């Protein structure tokens, strides 16, 4: 969700994307976030998430295996995520999509479409920073699967 503005985050993500190019076709798809006032009612929050969810789902193909990043999702270790990614590739799910929601989270429709929900802990992180953290963890997964000492 949203455009990445901070130069230092763009640089970090670009570095990991370059490293990932040895292992996979890595692509980031940005979807516009819905403009909303700072204070929203519960109904307004749901509406914003629904609009953003429609934008997200319009970019997701049926064959993709989808990880939704959600604070209540299942936490994994780096090794666990690496094993999942390797297993998905082995069993015909080579198109893997990770979805990071906007500041209000993900809509019910996106969560229903997801094959699994993943959490990076109970911390709340800006979605721009989460993009960098996720990109690094995807790279780390490939390095673990390659037997690289990067993970140590």
- 69 is annotated as contributing to ligand binding: yes
Rg (CA), the chain: 16
The span from the CA of 27 to the CA of 13, in Å, is 11
Residues 6 or more apart in contact with residue 108 via CB below 8 angstroms: 49, 53
Positive/negative CA dihedral, 33, 35, 39, 43: negative
CA 37 to chain centre: 25
Q: What is the dihedral of CA 30, 116, 120, 88, to 10 degrees?
A: -90
Annotated binding site: 69, 101
Annotated binding site for S-adenosyl-L-methionine: 69, 101
């Amino acid at each position: 969700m949203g455009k990445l503005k901070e130069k230092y985050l763009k640089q970090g993500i670009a570095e990991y994307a370059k490293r990932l190019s040895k292992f996979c076709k890595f692509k980031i798809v940005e979807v516009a976030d819905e403009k909303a006032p700072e204070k929203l009612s519960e109904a307004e929050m749901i509406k914003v998430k629904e609009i953003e969810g429609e934008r997200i789902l319009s970019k997701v193909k049926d064959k993709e295996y989808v990880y939704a990043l959600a604070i209540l999702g299942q936490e994994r270790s780096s090794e666990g995520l690496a094993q999942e990614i390797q297993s998905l590739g082995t069993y015909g799910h080579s198109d893997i999509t990770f979805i990071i929601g906007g500041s209000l989270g993900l809509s019910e429709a996106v969560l229903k479409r997801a094959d699994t929900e993943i959490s990076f802990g109970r911390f709340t992180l800006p979605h721009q920073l989460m993009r960098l953290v996720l990109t690094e963890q995807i790279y780390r997964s490939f390095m673990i699967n390659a037997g690289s000492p990067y993970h140590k």
